[in-house]
């Protein structure tokens, strides 16, 4: 099977408790040096990279305070993008996918809902007597990555809310922290605090040691950055969906937020 055919299969499986994230190569770079940005699907920092396919995303951008521009990258590129940070500071890369649809068997759907802390969907399926019903879901991915150029923080896009439907917004720049520090983030859904969502955080070096905590009424949640290395933070929000002409079979709609950065 052609590589893109395999990628399409991986893409279709991403709602089944898989991660979807951005990686910068490297996360820390001197000013003026190229940075490759790759798109990944898998689990626990292990998986396949996806090429730059324009109709797979609504947004793939670079941000500094007061400035946003499309991520440079040609059709089929893998890594999907490359840019040269021309100023010191913390750059923000964002990616928002188009919607996809997935049909999941009941046991796998239940497992995914448990793993991602989606208690509202579990309770509603139980209340409706739908626990043995297949999961018919449309979903969208919202990913961010932080890239530190140079040692200065003159420009800092790390705490920007960029309008993703569901997004993780640090309250302080993670690149300025050290192992042992606490990091507080806010989860926003359509620009408003997202309460009672489960945030899961882990490192590439020890993905089995996951931290989990739920957001408060203001959408805030804190974790301890207990080690150096590449970090991933993720959360999912799911709601019942009234089928329409876009996805006539869908009964659920989910939004997946992800943030990656590296701690020195």
pLDDT of 210 above 80? yes
Q: What is the spatial distance between Cα 115 and Cα 122, in angstroms, rounded to a whole number?
A: 11
Overall domain count for the chain: 1
Q: Beta strands of the chain (E only): which ranges?
A: 19-25, 28-29, 35-43, 46-50, 57-64, 67-70, 81-83, 89-97, 100-104, 135-149, 155-156, 166-170, 182-189, 192-193, 198-203, 211-214, 220-224, 229-240, 252-263
- pLDDT for 143-190, tens place per residue? 999 999 999 998 999 999 999 999 999 999 999 999 999 999 999 999
Q: Which residues pair with 263 in a beta bridge?
A: 229
What tokens appear for 186 in the block?
């806010």
Give the rounded percent of residues in the chain with a pLDDT score beyond 70.
Answer: 94
Token pair 């946003």: residue: 68
Q: For residue 43, count other CB atoms closer than 10 A to its CB.
A: 11
pLDDT at 12 over 50: no
Quick: pLDDT tens for 37-49: 999 999 999 999 9
pLDDT value at position 243?
Answer: 75
Largest CA distance in the chain: 58
Q: Mean pLDDT, to the nearest integer, of 241-245?
A: 81
Output the pLDDT for position 5: 42
For residue 23, give its domain range: 3-263
Instruction: Read off the pTM.
Output: 0.92
Percentage of residues in the chain having pLDDT higher than 90:
90
Sequence-distant (≥ 6) Cβ neighbours of residue 260 within 8 angstroms: 21, 22, 23, 24, 27, 143, 144, 145, 146, 230, 231, 232, 233
Average per-residue pLDDT for the chain: 93
> Which domain CATH number covers 57?
2.60.40.10
Which three-class secondary structure state does DSSP give residue 115?
helix
Statement: residue 36 has pLDDT above 80: yes
Residue count (the chain) = 264
């Amino acid at each position: 099977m052609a590589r893109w055919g395999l990628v399409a299969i991986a893409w279709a499986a991403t709602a089944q408790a898989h991660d979807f994230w951005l990686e910068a190569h490297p996360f820390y770079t001197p000013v003026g040096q190229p940075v490759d940005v790759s798109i990944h699907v898998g689990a626990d920092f292990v998986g396949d990279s996806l090429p730059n396919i324009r109709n797979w995303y609504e947004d793939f951008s670079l941000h500094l305070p007061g400035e946003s521009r499309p991520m440079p990258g040609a059709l089929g590129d893998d890594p999907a993008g490359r840019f040269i940070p021309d100023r010191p500071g913390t750059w923000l890369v964002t990616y928002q996918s188009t919607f996809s649809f997935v049909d999941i068997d009941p046991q796998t759907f239940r497992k995914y809902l448990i793993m991602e802390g989606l208690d509202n969907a579990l309770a509603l399926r139980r209340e409706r007597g739908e626990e043995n019903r297949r999961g018919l879901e449309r979903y969208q991915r919202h990913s961010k990555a932080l890239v530190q150029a140079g040692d200065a923080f003159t420009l800092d896009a790390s705490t920007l809310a960029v309008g993703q439907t569901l997004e993780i917004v640090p309250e302080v720049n993670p690149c300025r922290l050290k192992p042992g520090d606490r990091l507080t983030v806010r989860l926003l859904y359509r620009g408003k605090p997202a309460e009672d969502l489960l945030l899961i955080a882990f490192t590439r070096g020890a993905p089995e040691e996951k931290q989990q905590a739920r957001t408060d009424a203001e959408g805030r949640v804190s974790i301890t950055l207990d080690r150096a290395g590449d970090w991933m933070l993720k959360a999912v929000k799911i709601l019942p969906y009234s089928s329409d002409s876009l996805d006539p079979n869908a009964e659920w709609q989910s939004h997946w937020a992800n943030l990656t950065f590296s701690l020195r």
